Amino acid sequence: MNVNHVLCKNRVEVEGVDIGNFETFKMQASSRTLGNTAVLEIPLYAIGEDGFSGRASKRYRAGLEGIKVCSEVKVYLWYEWYDFSSASFVAEPEILKFSGWIEHIGQGFPSKIYLQDNAFILRFGSIEEAWDEDATVQKIMEDCIPIAQEAFDKERKSLGFTREVPRLTYSIEKKNVQAVTTSLSFRNWGGRSPHDTLQKLMQLMVMYGGVGDDFNVFIGVGVTESDRPLVALSTATNVIEREIIPVDGRFVDYDVKVFGILKNGRQYTATGGYMTSKSASQKSAFEKAALGETIRGHSTANTVDGIQEHADRMLKMLRESRNSGTMKLLLYPNLEIMDWVTYDDTIFEELSGSYYVLDYSFEASVNGYFQTIRATDKVFVL
């Protein structure tokens, strides 16, 4: 596609029914949270019927029957452009930009629908178990998933849904290889949902977790698909804005905290760098931009010295140099959290290199489709 003018096309499905186009769509994703969220603004109700397409009546029926909490929603996006050589419009590949469930419906007009991806299923049910030191990530997953699935199915049934939904699975062969296979102790507050339980585990171990479009639950590190090719970004082709800052970590006040479980089952926290970090109001503009903040990690060591060595190594890595910042691009190429991308800066060559995507946002409106990523060339800033 080598054109200056495109049409931004979209469609929304609710419970498998096409309900037409949205007004606006915003999506947020982060490497530090379990699951992605989105807000969809769409007219649900219309008076009368469009005599040409029937779109208004279609939305009216969907608004009455299909759109409610726990409804499945899919959002598809693509570009169309006019090919003068063939005197016809050409459609680019359709992207499934979001697949998830309705969490809440705002009562405005047009209505706002608040969504969460397939991690929403994990919000149902209650976990009472505490895992001893012989537990593994796989064991915790296998205990949580059936509880969530059963509770979600029961909720859907009580709301009148009859359509079957795919089952949650946990397979390290599908996505994000399980990063820790050693046993661990994991104490969980009674009454937490499976979602909050796995969120706590994910943050404790400083890993990236979620539920894929294939309904596979994962917690791991690295790229989401090991065989996915590198995405090439460049200010000459697809990056329309960027704010990347070279950071010399020697001049940043880091407060590194590393957690571990000792042999006696007690949790121990080792500190690297300053004993106390500055508050947000005390930080300089450079420190805020350079992420000079508390950095948390998890160690598999079970001794005080071992956990402290882990904290010291983490601080040493943070005090190296890195490039970090944001990039803004259009709908293509489609990016995801933890993608490993190559970046070519045609103005400042020293900013070129390979980057991890740590945060992701997407916005679709009358102004067009825009992706914004926060990226770094050092993965340890997780």
**pLDDT per residue as tens digits for the range 180-238:** 556 666 766 677 899 988 888 877 766 778 888 889 888 765 444 555 667 899 999 99
Taken as a whole, the chain contains a residue count of 382
pLDDT at 352: 93
Binned at pLDDT 50, 70 and 90, residue 57 comes out as very low
What residue ranges in 284-381 does DSSP mark as E strands?
294-298, 321-329, 340-344, 353-365, 368-376
pLDDT at 222: 46
Report the C-alpha gap between 311 and 254 in whole angstroms. 11
pLDDT, tens digit, 9 for 90 and up, residues 247-300: 777 777 777 888 887 877 788 888 876 544 444 455 565 555 544 456 777 777
Mean pLDDT across 35-64? 62
Mean pLDDT across 239-252? 84
The H or E element spanning position 194 is: helix 194-204
Q: Which pTM was predicted?
A: 0.80
Residues 6+ apart with CB under 8 A from 109: 43, 45
Position 72 pLDDT exceeds 90: yes
Joined tokens for residue 172? 């390290």
